[in-house]
């Protein structure tokens, strides 16, 4: 076990020394890998922000039920009672027309418009949250409510959120495709770097084989080199992403502030950032594995 650890420590040390000895090439490789990683990671971070907004607005089934302007308050109370008794309904919040007007007045830019009105044009309404997000349940209840005498209009508020979710799913698929393509690119970069390293060390490898080095002993430093290159690329990629988000947030901040929101594009969570590093290390290792498998067998002592 000690010898095994010693071999791994030596291989890791050797790989680090090689990276240090070839700084310009190592930095360029890390940059290429970093850019390749930053693109899907950035897409993932932005998608996370959009999904965060959508989740904040809730994707659960929700209906806005607007009553007829002539509907009397007792009719509204009767409808409220019917909604509360319905097993499909989690919550039915009554929004009186006066409160709706106050909320409209509080909306930035609309205060003057509302003040210019000589009467309250808004109806009484119910905001109905359902226990299920199932569109069929939502539509069934909406149909029933439309048939009510006091109801003027029923709006399924979560429809746009479902569209947003569908868009987010499409974006997630696009990011996955992009990540897959760029992963191939990363593997190709590492493959080529390790290939050049193997060719540079051809004599050393041949001598080591002559003197009794196992394939594992010879392969190990290259695996570490590939993995370290992946990690370096991952760190650069996260750095690029962080810098880009900081820049983007300088534009997002005033826009969000104008809506009274403190929304900012967030950086990846610690777990996601670690996953990016792990993923890049694995891709680096895999590129090295492919290269070593392809070229090391060709080097045999003569």
Partner 1 sequence: MISFSGVAKRYPGGQQALQDISFVIKAGELAFISGHSGAGKSTLLKLIAAIERPTAGAVLVNGQNVGALQRAALPYLRRNLGLVFQDQKLLHDRSVYDNVMLPLSFGDLAPKEAARRARAALDKVGLLGRDRANPIQLSGGEQQRLAIARAVVNRPAIVIADEPTANLDADSAARILDIFVAFNQVGVTVLVATHDEALIGRYARRVLRLAQGRLQAMEATA
Reference 164, options 244, 56, 262; nearest CA is 56
Smallest distance from the beta carbon of 6 to partner 1, in angstroms?
Answer: 7
| C-alpha distances in Å from residue 165, one per residue of 19, 49, 57, 96, 222 | 44, 12, 12, 31, 43
Smallest distance from the beta carbon of 207 to partner 1, in angstroms?
Answer: 5
Smallest distance from the beta carbon of 198 to partner 1, in angstroms?
Answer: 16
Reference 76, options 155, 157, 152; nearest CA is 152
Reference 46, options 251, 259, 241, 276; nearest CA is 241
Smallest distance from the beta carbon of 238 to partner 1, in angstroms?
Answer: 35
By beta-carbon proximity to partner 1, the closer residue of 266 and 301 is 301
By beta-carbon proximity to partner 1, the closer residue of 14 and 185 is 14
Smallest distance from the beta carbon of 291 to partner 1, in angstroms?
Answer: 19
Smallest distance from the beta carbon of 191 to partner 1, in angstroms?
Answer: 23
By beta-carbon proximity to partner 1, the closer residue of 211 and 270 is 211
By beta-carbon proximity to partner 1, the closer residue of 207 and 278 is 207
Burial per residue of 17-26, b for 16 or more beta-carbon CB atoms within 10 angstroms, e otherwise: ebbeebeeeb
Distance CA 234, CA 203 (A): 32
Distance CA 238, CA 2 (A): 35
Give the neighbor-by-neighbor strand order of the sheet with 151-156.
89-95, 125-130, 62-67, 151-156
Helix (H) or strand (E) holding 110: none
Smallest distance from the beta carbon of 299 to partner 1, in angstroms?
Answer: 13
By beta-carbon proximity to partner 1, the closer residue of 218 and 236 is 218
Distance CA 196, CA 184 (A): 18
Contact present, 288 and 230 (Cβ < 8 Å): no
By beta-carbon proximity to partner 1, the closer residue of 212 and 271 is 212
Contact present, 233 and 37 (Cβ < 8 Å): yes
By beta-carbon proximity to partner 1, the closer residue of 31 and 296 is 296
Residues that bind partner 1 (CB under 8 A): 2-3, 6, 10, 203-204, 206-215, 217, 300-302
């Amino acid at each position: 076990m000690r010898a095994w650890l010693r071999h791994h420590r030596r291989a890791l040390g050797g790989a680090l020394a090689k990276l240090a000895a070839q700084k310009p090439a190592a930095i360029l490789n890390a940059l290429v890998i970093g850019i390749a990683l930053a693109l899907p990671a950035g897409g993932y971070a932005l998608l996370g922000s959009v999904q965060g907004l959508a989740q904040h607005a809730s994707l659960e089934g929700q209906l806005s039920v607007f009553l007829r302007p002539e509907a009397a308050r007792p009719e509204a109370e009767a409808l409220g009672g019917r909604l509360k008794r319905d097993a499909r309904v989690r919550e039915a919040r009554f929004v009186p027309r006066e409160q709706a007007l106050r909320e409209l007045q509080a909306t930035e830019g609309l205060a003057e418009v509302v003040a210019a009105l000589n009467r309250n044009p808004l109806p009484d309404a119910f905001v109905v949250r359902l226990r299920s997000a199932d569109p069929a349940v939502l539509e069934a209840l909406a149909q029933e409510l439309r048939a009510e005498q006091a109801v003027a209009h029923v709006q399924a508020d979560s429809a746009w959120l479902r569209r947003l979710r569908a868009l987010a799913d499409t974006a997630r698929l696009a990011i996955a495709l992009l990540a897959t393509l760029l992963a191939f690119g990363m593997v190709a970069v590492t493959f080529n770097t390790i290939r050049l390293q193997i060719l540079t060390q051809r004599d050393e490898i041949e001598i080591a084989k002559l003197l009794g080095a196992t394939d594992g002993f010879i392969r190990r430093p290259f695996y570490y080199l590939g993995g370290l290159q992946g990690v370096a690329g991952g760190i650069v990629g996260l750095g690029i992403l962080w810098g880009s988000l900081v820049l983007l947030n300088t534009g997002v901040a005033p826009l969000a502030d104008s809506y009274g929101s403190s929304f900012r594009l967030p950086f990846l969570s610690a777990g996601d950032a670690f996953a990016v590093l792990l993923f890049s290390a694995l891709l680096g290792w895999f590129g090295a594995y492919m290269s070593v498998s392809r070229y090391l067998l060709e080097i045999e002592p003569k």
